[in-house]
Chain A
Amino acid sequence: MPEPDQSTLARRKDIIAAMRDIVPNEGGVIVDEDRLRPYECDGLMAYRQLPMIVVLPENTGQVAAILKYCHTHKIRVVPRGAGTGLSGGALPMADAITISMMKFNRVLDIDWDNRAVVVQPGVTNLGITRAVEHKGFYYAPDPSSQIACSIGGNIAENSGGVHSLKYGLTTNNVLGVEMVTIEGEILRIGGKGLDQSGYDLLGVITGSEGLLGIVTEVTVRILRKPETARALLLGFNSSEEGGNCVARIIADGIIPGGLEMMDAPAIKATEGFVHAGYPLDVEALLLVELDGPKVEVDYLIERVGAIARECGAVYSRISESEDERLLFWSGRKNAFPAIGRISPDYICMDGTIPRRRLAEVLTGMQVLSQRHGLRVANVFHAGDGNLHPLIMFDANQPGELERAEAFGADILKLCVEVGGVLSGEHGIGVEKRDLMPEMFTEDDMKHQERLKLAFDEDELLNPGKVFPTLHGCGELKTLHAREVASKFPDIPRF
């Protein structure tokens, strides 16, 4: 992380006074160490740092005033939602103001005709569905933490979930935002329509991990809840067979509402925890959910069952009731705490690979598991190739955390090697920041940073995240114009 700026720390009292002027509300500015402690990390608890101060604004005007002050006085800012992120995107800095958006917690408008809901960014993901489900609607992206994570954080991380194969990620379901820049300007991007003017700023803000601005209002699209949903459990003797089955289902033109896979260690851990009735004698378990009108679901269940038989499924069970469907899911949804029961600590990694390389990557992970001397269990979004290896370790054993991190880095390098990426849905944050050169060249990174500079020239917003090293503004702006000696003699001209 960047070194704390001593001149900022020396001005802490003045900064606190200024923040109290801007946010006079009770509890709006937190300065005591005890009350700062809950903010010292997000869901990535391996990294902790007390913030300089925490501010909890309650309206857009206050956010704009805070950011304007920070811009004028060159003070760093770390935006924070519910703090459930898993890559350290909201890790505080010793010399930065953490801005918590959790007082922005109201649903502002439900527009049934436009199938759009306007909310403040602190509303939880599930809170949006709760607001509209009485009329049969829901918000599709469903990260596992949906009961707690905020929609503002979902935008920062472009969150996904089990529905994303069929219904898309956050970026495909957000229609518009109100956002405040570091200069304190309030932007409105997009709205209830499907277009915006100018460059697609909505697209780049989504997944920008709080480096471009602070979102103060969100418009999302909602969907009608499918009439029926049923799930199949399919067991295979190898992950390769399971992977082939996934490819066959999709090649057959079937896009399930959910398509998840677990390997043997994950199956055993979850079955021991929730007793979902999972088979314990298979190497790979697929969980396939089909949703839509009953007539469609019944038809597709038959087809998926037939494909599974052709792919060598040795176990097949279809949910016959809503309770049974939820029971099937309870194992998958509790996979993380289940691993927590059999290991003192674990790290959840997050990389995406081309689906057909699945067996190869799982085999590679076993080799790495032996090399690093740590166990790994796998649960993943099989439909879109998004892996979540859970690396088990004991933080009380000297060196195990470091070994677990090295193991995780090797897994992600393997993902990139086979044509995948470093993160499917958790973001880069501080966790994977130093791995970015595995995927990107220096020029690739510079172009990302140039986008950053267009929003935040002084690099005050969430520094130390995403980029392993930030180039200086001057360096990025230097133009290396190359006059070629001859006018490209090899290129056809007319």
Chain B
Amino acid sequence: MTEVISPATPEQLREAISWALGSKTPLEIIGSGSKISYGHAVAASHVLDLSKLTGVLFYEPEELVMSVRAGTSLAEIHGILRDKNQQFHFEPGNFPGLLADGVADHAGTIGGLIACNISGPRRIKVGAARDHLLGFEAISGRAEDFKSGGRVMKNVTGFDLSKLMAGSFGTLSVMHTITMKVMPCDEKTRTVLIACDDMQIAGSAMTRALGSENEVSAAAWIAREQVVKLGLDIVTGIGTGIVALRVEGPAPSVAWRCEALRKLLADIGASEELHSANSNAFWQAVADVVPFAGGIGLLWRVSGPPASGGAIAAKLADETGGKIMMDWAGAQIWLQLAGGDAMADKVRDIAVSYDARAVLVRAPEDIRNQVPVFHAEDAALARINARIRENFDPEGILNPGRIGHMIAKRGNA
């Protein structure tokens, strides 16, 4: 029977990891469990549950910095930030609807978010979650306390281990304290919607928009049949697929840039605008990947050069019959497959042919046991990754197997 250990303080966390190290007991690390199915299943008899390790240690809006315990819920953090008209600029999505049946809609902790390095549509302008992690404190797989980074924006003091921890899926250390950069909300947000059913034309439209002077902060393409699932009447009313381009900033600037974008892309199709609350609701739905939520079908995420997005998407749709949504101006493609076949070789071959990478974000456990979830690196990189893992967690007690084949060459795993 799985035993759950729930430390409520960093000291208790260290004690638990020290015991696991001494007894060579693998631990599965979870927060709210909202992303528990992201990655390979972890073979562990014990769960290290961080959901009691909560609390805001400090929040200084004028300094744009917040430090919290890793198990603090994102819902609580977003609420605190909203009160001061601030936000995480990388606008992470809520993934329970995508990944975890039976977990509350807005579940998710800051620790899980950073461990998986999840970033939303504004990624194209402001960077990923990892770019907003200023510092952390953690217990490594050696049961040793360590920290890196700090609380200031500009810091080149020693190696940037924050970058290493972001996206490491809890395989190097267990972070208990996380210090983040926060940013003010923009004065205005508007979204230009352009009718477009063709994903290749959509891709080139997004490339043109991003190459213009209009500082687009998000760019996505939603197919006609997915648009309905967004639940926004004004969007559904267009009746076609849409290219969506967001502009944010001071009010006069936003109005000027939206107009410029509509002129720039007048040859693509009719355009419409979403203002304020509608614009926010639209992009939250894109961040949450709402068109593919509900746990139905396998879901791939293909990430590559943005200008290739349209071509990659078209080829994926053509060769797999799957449904497509493009975000990050084409640099992130979501592919939902209806059947039970992950079509892993086909998806990965298409991705690699465009210098892109494919990750199987959602699939039943039996498929995740058969198909490498993460994109495998070449042998030299895999060796470095493996050495890092061994140096931080020599007994392999932290989330063993979670990233599975990520650190081994594809085919040699």
Residues of A within 8 A of B (CB): 111-116, 136, 157-158, 160, 164-165, 168-169, 171-172, 181, 185-189, 191-204, 206-208, 211, 224-227, 247, 250-253, 255, 292-293, 295-296, 299-300, 352-356, 381, 384-386, 419-428, 432, 436, 439-441, 443-448, 450-455, 466, 476-477, 479-484, 487-488, 490-494
The answer to whether A171 and B146 touch across the interface, beta carbons within 8 angstroms, is no
A352 touching B153 in the complex, CB below 8 Å, given contacts A197-B375, A201-B384: yes
Shortest C-beta distance, B302 to chain A (Å), equals: 10
Listed A/B pairs (15) with beta-carbon separation below 8 Å = A115-B211, A171-B131, A181-B384, A198-B385, A204-B164, A224-B212, A384-B152, A421-B152, A425-B154, A426-B156, A455-B387, A477-B391, A479-B142, A482-B22, A492-B6
A195 CA / B403 CA spacing, docked (Å): 16
Judge if B338 is at the interface, Cβ distance under 8 Å. Answer: no
The answer to whether B305 and A114 touch across the interface, beta carbons within 8 angstroms, is yes
Q: Which of A158, A195, A444, A482 contacts B148 (CB 8 A)?
A: A444
The answer to whether B152 and A419 touch across the interface, beta carbons within 8 angstroms, is yes
Judge if B344 is at the interface, Cβ distance under 8 Å. Answer: no
A195 CA / B333 CA spacing, docked (Å): 12
The answer to whether B154 and A381 touch across the interface, beta carbons within 8 angstroms, is yes
The answer to whether A455 and B146 touch across the interface, beta carbons within 8 angstroms, is no
The answer to whether B213 and A493 touch across the interface, beta carbons within 8 angstroms, is no
Q: Which residues B139-166 have CB closer than 8 A to chain A?
A: 140, 142-148, 150-164, 166
The answer to whether A494 and B357 touch across the interface, beta carbons within 8 angstroms, is no
The answer to whether A195 and B357 touch across the interface, beta carbons within 8 angstroms, is yes
The answer to whether B85 and A253 touch across the interface, beta carbons within 8 angstroms, is yes
Residues of A within 8 Å of B145, CB to CB, are 441, 443
The answer to whether B131 and A172 touch across the interface, beta carbons within 8 angstroms, is yes
A487 CA / B257 CA spacing, docked (Å): 61
Shortest C-beta distance, A343 to chain B (Å), equals: 26
Shortest C-beta distance, B406 to chain A (Å), equals: 6
Bitwise, B194-227 to A at CB < 8 A (1) or not (0) is 0000000000000100111101000000000000
The answer to whether A444 and B215 touch across the interface, beta carbons within 8 angstroms, is no
A201 CA / B165 CA spacing, docked (Å): 10
The answer to whether B186 and A447 touch across the interface, beta carbons within 8 angstroms, is no
Shortest C-beta distance, B333 to chain A (Å), equals: 11
Residues of B within 8 Å of A203, CB to CB, are 130, 160, 162-164, 166
Give 4 new A-B contacts, CB below 8 A, not counting A203-B162, A252-B184, A454-B391.
A113-B211, A194-B306, A201-B381, A483-B22
The answer to whether B158 and A251 touch across the interface, beta carbons within 8 angstroms, is no
Shortest C-beta distance, B163 to chain A (Å), equals: 3
The answer to whether A296 and B256 touch across the interface, beta carbons within 8 angstroms, is yes
A491 touching B15 in the complex, CB below 8 Å, given contacts A114-B306, A421-B157: yes
Judge if B3 is at the interface, Cβ distance under 8 Å. Answer: yes
Residues of B within 8 Å of A447, CB to CB, are 140, 144, 146, 148, 161, 392
Going nearest first, the 9 A-B pairs with the smallest beta carbon separation are A203-B163, A483-B22, A296-B253, A253-B184, A113-B307, A454-B387, A450-B391, A192-B305, A424-B154
Q: Which residue of A lies closest to B135 (CB)?
A: A421
Bitwise, B105-130 to A at CB < 8 A (1) or not (0) is 00000000000010000011001101
Residues of A within 8 Å of B38, CB to CB, are none
Residues of B within 8 Å of A494, CB to CB, are 3-4, 6, 49
Shortest C-beta distance, A50 to chain B (Å), equals: 28
A191 touching B249 in the complex, CB below 8 Å, given contacts A181-B380, A203-B163, A450-B391: no
Residues of B within 8 Å of A488, CB to CB, are 5, 12, 15-16, 19
The answer to whether B159 and A295 touch across the interface, beta carbons within 8 angstroms, is no
Give the interface SS of chain B, mostly helix, strand, loop or mixed.
mixed
Q: Which of B6, B140, B257, B306 contacts A193 (CB 8 A)?
A: B306
A194 CA / B140 CA spacing, docked (Å): 28
Q: How many contacts between A and B, using CB within 8 angstroms?
A: 311
The answer to whether B303 and A353 touch across the interface, beta carbons within 8 angstroms, is no
The answer to whether A493 and B6 touch across the interface, beta carbons within 8 angstroms, is yes
Q: Which residue of A lies closest to B138 (CB)?
A: A447
Q: Which of A193, A292, A476, A482 contacts B253 (CB 8 A)?
A: A292
Residues of B within 8 Å of A466, CB to CB, are 158-159
The answer to whether A487 and B19 touch across the interface, beta carbons within 8 angstroms, is yes
Q: Which of B3, B163, B168 contacts A493 (CB 8 A)?
A: B3
A419 touching B150 in the complex, CB below 8 Å, given contacts A181-B380, A192-B355, A455-B384: yes
Judge if B185 is at the interface, Cβ distance under 8 Å. Answer: yes
A194 touching B152 in the complex, CB below 8 Å, given contacts A171-B160, A187-B384: no
Residues of A within 8 Å of B65, CB to CB, are 354
Shortest C-beta distance, B132 to chain A (Å), equals: 10
Shortest C-beta distance, A10 to chain B (Å), equals: 32
The answer to whether A207 and B166 touch across the interface, beta carbons within 8 angstroms, is no
Q: Which of A181, A194, A204, A226 contacts B332 (CB 8 A)?
A: A194
A428 touching B157 in the complex, CB below 8 Å, given contacts A200-B163, A293-B213: yes
A470 CA / B212 CA spacing, docked (Å): 49
Residues of A within 8 Å of B406, CB to CB, are 197-198
The answer to whether A185 and B213 touch across the interface, beta carbons within 8 angstroms, is no
A436 CA / B153 CA spacing, docked (Å): 19
Shortest C-beta distance, A382 to chain B (Å), equals: 11
Residues of B within 8 Å of A247, CB to CB, are 62-63
Residues of A within 8 Å of B340, CB to CB, are none
Residues of B within 8 Å of A491, CB to CB, are 5-8, 12, 15-16
A164 CA / B131 CA spacing, docked (Å): 13
Shortest C-beta distance, B104 to chain A (Å), equals: 19
Q: Which of A198, A354, A355, A421 contacts B381 (CB 8 A)?
A: A198
Q: Which residues B82-103 have CB closer than 8 A to chain A?
A: 85
Residues of B within 8 Å of A207, CB to CB, are 156, 159-160
Shortest C-beta distance, A349 to chain B (Å), equals: 13
Q: Which residue of B lies closest to A357 (CB)?
A: B63
The answer to whether A421 and B150 touch across the interface, beta carbons within 8 angstroms, is yes
The answer to whether B392 and A193 touch across the interface, beta carbons within 8 angstroms, is no
A157 CA / B357 CA spacing, docked (Å): 29
Judge if B382 is at the interface, Cβ distance under 8 Å. Answer: yes
Residues of B within 8 Å of A439, CB to CB, are 150, 157-158
Choose among B4, B117, B142 the residue with the greatest number of A CB atoms under 10 Å from its CB.
Answer: B142
A384 CA / B65 CA spacing, docked (Å): 12
The answer to whether B152 and A352 touch across the interface, beta carbons within 8 angstroms, is yes
Bitwise, B21-52 to A at CB < 8 A (1) or not (0) is 11100000000000000000000000001001
Judge if B187 is at the interface, Cβ distance under 8 Å. Answer: yes
